[in-house]
Structure formats: structure tokens, C-alpha cells
Amino acid sequence: MRVLITVKAAPTPSNAYGETVCVAGIRQGLGQESWVRLYPINFRAQDAVDQFRKYEVVRLRAKPARNDRRLESWRPDLGSIRRERVIPPGKQRRSHIDHHIQHSMCELLAEVRSAPPGRSLAVIRPAEVSSLRVRPNSGWKPEQQRAIDRAAAAEDLFGVSGTPLIAPRFTAKYVYRCTHRSCRGHEQGMLDWELVALQHRLRNLTDAEVISAIEQKFFAEKVRPGQDTAFYVGNQAKWEQTFSVLGVYTAAR
């Protein structure tokens, strides 16, 4: 398959894989484009040359996920990934993304409830984004920390050194309304790779400085007058009615 990558979610601990990232995008070349989720991928275990970027088109082999009933979920053959090109911002990128944008998160949730599993990936243009709530992160859950410890022990056994995955200091949630006439609002956690990467770069700053930087980047810059903003959203296999913001799409009007 050929996939335009639109989402790189934050890395999380995994019992089966040690550390994984959920990648999603738009499958191309079938006459009708479709959303796909590629899992598991461990970016930190890949060479830098293999760490493809958002809005890059990649070619790979993949199989339908066996333990995930969501139709968008595929298990990638990591050795088959070939990078093609990055779609630049502006008209070229908009031509790939804009026709997939919908306006109603409420309708997406209703679809999942009435005909599960429904769609598990979408890009939603909010009617109004009221706030970005940044809160201290309580850290990894005990089972997640055990997964990290097992992965570190396995690396030591084979003589491989690496930095254990560290939980980010802060989490963030978008609070917004979609355009559905009876929308009461949505509050969705943010699982974007960029949120974690920003905190890693600013790890030597104070909490107040990091919070200010998060608010600046993900609210003041990404949700501002004069540009189109949309949220890439996705749910979880175990909680199909729980959607999170996997990334933010912006384009000049």
C-alpha cells in the first residue's frame, strides 16, 4: 500500500512490543482513498534514515490486524517501508487533506454507537475551540512501567543500550464544539508526537515555561483566526467510543 502519513501519535509502553507508536494516514491508489492505522512501529529503534515524517508518502507491505476489529487497522512489515516524498504545505497538501475533513464529531460518535466498530479515524473541523487544558502527568501506570523495565532488561541482555521511555511532564486536552446543532462540547486528550517532542526539547525549563510553550504552540499558533484548523481524531481498540486528538492540521485560508 501507499500511505500519506498524517498522524504520528506519542510513543507508549507496550507489554508485547516494549515501546510503540501508532501511525495513521490516507491510503492512496485504490480509486477511493481510505484511512489506515499502522501498528506497531517503534521509531526510536529505527535508524534515522527510516524515521519517516508526517505528510510523507511511504510505500509498504501490511496485513490486516488480527486482534483489532477496526477495519482501518493494519500490521506493517517494517522492513518493507520505502519513503517516497513529503507533500509540502499549501495547495498541494490541501488537495490531499481538505476533501476528507468533516464537521461533526457528534455524528462520528453516533455512528460508532449505532453500528460498531464504525469509523475509528477521521479529521474534524471544530466550530469553536474554547481552550487547551494542560495538566501535570501522573506518569506511567504500573503495567506500563513494567513493560518499559522488561524492554530495558531485554536490551541489556543483547548488549543494546537505549534510554528508557520517559513519561512527559504534562498532558493536554482540547475543549471544543463541533457544528452539530445539539453539540454539548467535546473534551479530548491530545496524543500527538509533537506534544511529547516539545516537552523533551524543553526538559531543562521550569514547569511554568513548559506550560507556556505548550499553550503557545498548540493553541495560540494552531488555533488562531485566519487559518483553517482541524483535528485528526482516533479511538482505541478497547474503548471504541473514546476518541483522542492525534494531531492538528492547519492551513492558511
Q: Where are the domains of the chain?
A: 2-88, 94-252
Q: In a 3-state reduction of DSSP, which class is residue 153?
A: helix
**2-8 vs 128-136, strand pairing mode:** unpaired
What mean pLDDT do residues 168-174 have? 97
pLDDT band, residue 157 (cuts 50/70/90): very low
pLDDT of residue 134: 98
User: Which segments of the chain does DSSP mark as H helices, in order?
Assistant: 91-97, 105-114, 142-157, 193-201, 207-215
The whole-angstrom separation of Cα 37 and Cα 121 is 8
pLDDT band, residue 154 (cuts 50/70/90): low
Report the predicted TM-score, pTM, of the whole model to 2 decimal places: 0.91
pLDDT band, residue 34 (cuts 50/70/90): very high
**2-8 vs 18-28, strand pairing mode:** antiparallel
Q: Do 227 and 243 form a contact (C-beta atoms < 8 A)?
A: no
Q: 188-199: per-residue pLDDT in tens? A: 999 999 999 999
Residue 229: C-alpha distances to residues 74, 133, 155, 204, 253 (Å): 28, 18, 41, 30, 10
Max Cα separation, the chain? 58
pLDDT of residue 177: 97
DSSP string, 90-115: THHHHHHHGGGEES-HHHHHHHHHHS
DSSP string, 59-76: E--EEE-TT---TTEEEE
Q: In a 3-state reduction of DSSP, which class is residue 198?
A: helix
The whole-angstrom separation of Cα 112 and Cα 86 is 32
The whole-angstrom separation of Cα 169 and Cα 200 is 9
Q: 11-27: per-residue pLDDT in tens? A: 888 776 667 888 999 99
pLDDT of residue 166: 87
| Domain 2-88, CATH | 2.40.50
Of the candidates 94, 86, 88, 92, the residue with the CA atom closest to the CA atom of residue 123: 94
pLDDT band, residue 31 (cuts 50/70/90): confident
Give the cell for residue 54.
508526517
pLDDT of residue 12: 85
Higher pLDDT, 232 or 43: 232
Which residues contact residue 151 at a Cβ distance below 8 angstroms, ignoring those fewer than 6 apart? 13, 18, 19, 164
pLDDT of residue 46: 61
